[in-house]
């Protein structure tokens, strides 16, 4: 009888401890989720602080081929180790399951035409939802535009007029930082645009051409934003 009571008492304490453990784990996960903290991001920060390179890039592509890219429209070719786009309305996408990141195009070159776009946080390429940065002499400036079900939303969420900019010829480094609802764009290391929008929180990347654009890109990386 005494033995049975003892066993019961011991069993209950295991149940209690298990309950506490489960509740603490659930509370922690819900807390992190409500604060928008990505567990993979935490893991990668911890791993990189320990010298691991497993989380170095979310995406790294020299753009010498279209492997892994979804061409939705337009003319896209690879020559000289670069991705060439245009003329006409063209869109090409690469899927990515990530939210806060920095897109860097090491060399983006506009040879002619009204401009090019760099998509980010996109989903559903054939009817794209997401954002695009536009290097846009046709609009006489640079802009960040939202896309809804394959339609570009007007007015853009950010626009910077650049009437005397040297649009054609030199390779430009384009860097887009999307962190939470904040979006910033740098050209050759200098910030040119900033916007706030929370419509889309994650998704892939891509490029766009339109009208008589002839453009080329090389060296694309996508990295996690700094903590």
Residues 60-79 that bind other proteins (CB under 8 A): none
In this chain, which of 62, 95, 152, 171 binds other proteins, going by CB under 8 A? 152
What mask, x for binding other proteins by CB under 8 A, covers residues 95 to 134? Answer: ----------------------------------------
Residue 173, exposed/middle/buried by CB under 10 A (0-12, 13-18, 19+)? middle
Determine, following the binding rule CB under 8 A, whether residue 162 of this chain makes contact with other proteins.
Answer: no
Among 136, 106, 101, CA closest to 121: 101
- Cβ atoms of 135 and 124 within 8 Å: the answer is no
- Return the residue of 51, 68, 80, 155 that touches other proteins, per CB under 8 A: 155
Does the protein bind other proteins through residue 54 (CB under 8 A)?
A: no
Per-residue x/- marks for other proteins, 163-202, CB under 8 A?
Answer: ------------------------------------x---
Interacting residue with other proteins among 102, 143, 220, 222 (CB under 8 A): 143
Minimum distance of other proteins from residue 113's CB (angstroms): 14
Cα gap 192→172, rounded to integer Å: 13
Choosing from 11, 20, 77, 188, the residue that interacts with other proteins (CB under 8 A) is 20
User: Sign of the CA dihedral 110, 113, 114, 116?
Assistant: negative
Grouping H, G, I as helix, E, B as strand and the rest as coil, residue 107 is: strand
- Contact with other proteins (CB under 8 A): which of 1, 4, 13, 53? 13
Cα separation, 173 vs 23, whole angstroms: 48
Among 37, 42, 153, 194, binds other proteins (CB under 8 A): 153
Q: How far, in Å, CA of 57 to CA of 47, rounded? A: 13
Number of residues that bind other proteins (CB under 8 A): 33
CB of 16 to other proteins, least distance (A): 5
- Report in angstroms how near the CB of residue 156 gets to other proteins at its nearest: 6
Among 11, 24, 65, 188, binds other proteins (CB under 8 A): 24
Closest by CA position to 203, among listed 68, 105, 100:
100
Q: Which has the closest alpha carbon to 223: 128, 139, 107, 100?
A: 100
Supply the DSSP string of 171-208, one letter for each residue. Answer: -EEEEEEEETTEEEEEETTEEEEEEE--S----EEEEE
Residues that bind other proteins (CB under 8 A): 5-6, 9, 12-13, 16, 19-20, 23-24, 26-27, 30-31, 33-34, 138-139, 141, 143, 145-146, 148-156, 159, 199
């Amino acid at each position: 009888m005494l033995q049975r009571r003892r066993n019961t008492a011991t069993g209950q304490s295991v149940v209690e401890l298990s309950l506490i453990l489960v509740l603490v784990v659930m509370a922690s996960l819900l807390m992190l989720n409500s604060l928008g903290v990505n567990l993979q991001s935490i893991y990668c920060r911890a791993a990189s602080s320990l010298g691991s390179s497993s989380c170095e890039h979310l995406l790294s592509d020299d753009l010498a081929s279209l492997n892994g890219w979804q061409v939705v429209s337009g003319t896209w070719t690879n020559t000289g180790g670069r991705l060439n786009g245009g003329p006409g309305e063209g869109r090409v996408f690469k899927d990515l399951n990530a939210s806060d990141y920095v897109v860097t195009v090491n060399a983006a070159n506009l040879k002619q035409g009204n401009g090019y776009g760099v998509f980010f946080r996109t989903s559903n390429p054939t009817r794209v939802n997401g954002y695009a940065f536009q290097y846009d002499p046709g609009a006489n400036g640079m802009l960040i535009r939202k896309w809804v079900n394959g339609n570009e939303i007007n007015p853009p969420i950010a626009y910077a007029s650049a009437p005397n900019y040297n649009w054609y010829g030199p390779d430009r480094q384009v860097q887009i930082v999307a962190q939470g609802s904040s979006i910033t764009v740098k050209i050759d290391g200098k910030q040119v645009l900033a916007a706030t929008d929370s419509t889309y929180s994650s998704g892939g990347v891509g490029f766009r051409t339109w009208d008589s654009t002839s453009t080329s890109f090389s060296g694309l990386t996508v990295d996690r934003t700094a903590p």
